[in-house]
Amino acid sequence: MPQSIEVKVAIPYTPYWITVHLVKILPVMRLSVSLSMTSGDTCLSVVSAAYASPVHGNASCKHGENGSLPLPLIEKFSERFSAPNKSGLPVGFLKSCTAPALHFCRHSSKLQRVNPRKKSHSTKHGAYAAAGVNIDLGDSLKSRLPEMVRGTRRPEVLGAIGGFGGLFALDTKKYRRPVLVSSVDGVGTKLKVAVAMNKHDTIGQCLVNHCVNDIAVLGAKPLFFLDYIGMGKLAPHVFDGIITGLATACAKTGCALIGGETAQMPGMYAEGEYDLVGCIVGVVEKDGAIDGSRIKPGDAVVGLASTGLHTNGYSLARRILFAQMRARLDDYSSELGCTFGEELLKVHRNYWPIIRKIREPRAAIRNSLHGIAHITSGGFRDNIPRVLPKNCRAVIHRGTWNVPPIFRLLQAGGGVGDEEMHCVFNMGIGMTLIVDARSVAAIQKTAAKCGVKSYLIGEIRKGKSDVQIENGSL
């Protein structure tokens, strides 16, 4: 009986979509690709001649394993799809949008004959599965979680993962007046890059590190983490990649991954897309919390280098790179020293090791840290004032740190002004430490030992609680 796969790919920032349709009628296959508008008009259609199935041993086709599409055919289609069309879209752009769908068909066309009279091994959830929710697959994936998160376990964790709630027995004997610190966050449209690249093992690390930094600014030690994953349809390799990333980052920072939620919601997300959210809880001594109250005029502002965009500004970055500059994720940039996709998926840096080292009981500089700001959405202007007393102004000096190439590329490619760049992106500084001016050298030495570059980028002056960005060095 005929078996088929259809994949639709929306082209960003345009009213077009690409449809790839594979029909398998043994012993042959037939593949068609079309470019259409949301109105239904077809701008271009390319249909393959039927070709022999590997089941019948036509070695000349050089098929993929188990009946997948042959790579030469995919390359041929990419060329044929460059034919003139009514859309006016650039040829290279069309080819880059078509490739993911073709490759999806290549790896998803391993269809088997199914006897419609043979009942499924499990009919218990047949109606729910028909509605798009696969409980059996969900249970199978979750059964692997205990082993996947084993490396994050701490002595305070009670019971196994998978219960209604995660249990964590805080050892209050280690603290005089412990205060729990919590935060919840996501990674924004960086998820779209992960989906387009089909690389999901770093996005979980970004989420954990972002959340760790958010409580680290208060001096809080991470204790445990919970995640939420929302998908239209469960994809095992995506799920495993996300959990691997979460567990890797949690293990590195000493934070237990004690639970989470994976929701299957058919119709909520575009094909292949998902949402990811994390919640973290940490602890700090009440009299040791870094709340900014000790910040005073004369303090210095030390900037800790970021790895790139981290998890903010991706909506603007994607628009500039892919809609305005017509770049592709797999394009290599000599300026960046990597592909655009690799640059955009660089892991959000975790700054907790630096803060922990500065605050060690025997460290001479343990009391020199007066305030910390995690530079996320809103840049310097929105984040530094969150920790400033009412009578203090932060003055940041442009040119005192190395701005990574990605920001210069985005500014030039998008025609974005300096003011807006500093309001949207971190500009190469992922965290600012407001410290006693006499301890700057020691602070920078500590950051260097943790493998992070740091810069003296500003100072605190008397004035209203805001940020002033000036040109020139200190």
pLDDT in tens, 358-413: 999 999 999 999 999 999 999 999 999 999 999 999 999 999 999 999 999 999 99
Poorest-confidence range of 57-66, 222-231, 457-466?
A: 57-66
Token representation of residue 432: 């600012």
**CATH number of the structural domain 300-470:** 3.90.650.10
Average pLDDT, the chain: 84
Q: What architecture (CATH level 2) is domain 135-288?
A: 2-Layer Sandwich (3.30)
Token representation of residue 48: 């393959």
Q: Tell me: pLDDT of 187 over 60.
A: yes
Q: For 296-355, write each residue's pLDDT tens digit.
A: 999 999 999 999 999 999 999 999 999 999 999 999 999 999 999 999 999 999 999 999
263: β partners: 230
pLDDT of residue 119: 42
Cα dihedral 319/320/322/325 (nearest 10): 150
pLDDT of residue 378: 93
**Residue predicted with more confidence, 163 or 18:** 163
- 410-428: average pLDDT: 95
CA distance 147 to 240: 12
Token representation of residue 270: 């575009």
pLDDT of residue 429: 98
- 221-241: average pLDDT: 95
CA distance 228 to 264: 11
Domain extents for the chain? 3-108, 135-288, 300-470
Task: Give SS3 for 19.
Answer: strand
- 158 near 167, Cβ under 8 Å? yes
pLDDT of residue 474: 46
Q: Tell me: pLDDT of 46 over 60.
A: yes
pTM above 0.85, yes or no: no
**Residue predicted with more confidence, 55 or 423:** 423
Region of 379 (left: φ > 0; alpha: ψ -120 to 50; beta: rest) is left
Please give the share of the chain, as a percent, with pLDDT higher than 90. 67
Q: Are strands 392-397 and 467-470 parallel, antiparallel or unpaired?
A: parallel
Q: For 124-134, write each residue's pLDDT tens digit.
A: 668 888 898 99
| H runs (alpha helix) in 319-370 | 340-344, 352-358
What residues have CB less than 8 Å from 362, skipping those under 6 apart?
Answer: none
pLDDT of residue 34: 72
- 190 near 250, Cβ under 8 Å? no
Work out the pLDDT band at 111, boundaries 50, 70, 90. very low
